[in-house]
Amino acid sequence: MTIKYTESKLLNMTQTERAKLEEIRNKVSESGGDVSVNQLLRDGIELLYNYKMEIVERYTPKSIKELIKVDVR
């Protein structure tokens, strides 16, 4: 069964980013598989979702006190 995607698809990426996706797609093809660049992007989103707390932590601003974290006893 084919899933139909109804959301518009506009994604700005560099030529380097696109080339990296194409490289992965080509490696899959060389191994006898088949995948589209769009499917790779969807899979990437699923991977990111599995690391959502780490991503939130990374992009959350920190105060100077949080950055120092000195253990004073």
Q: What is the DSSP string of 8-72?
A: -------HHHHHHHHHHHHHHHHTT----HHHHHHHHHHHHHHTHHHHHHHHS---HHHHH----
10-residue block means of pLDDT along the chain (73 residues)? 71 94 97 95 95 93 77 58
- 60 burial (CB, 10 Å; 0-12 / 13-18 / 19+) is exposed
- Pairwise CA distance, residues 70 & 63, whole Å: 13
Domain extents in the chain: 15-68
The reported pLDDT for the residue numbered 40 is 95
The reported pLDDT for the residue numbered 72 is 57
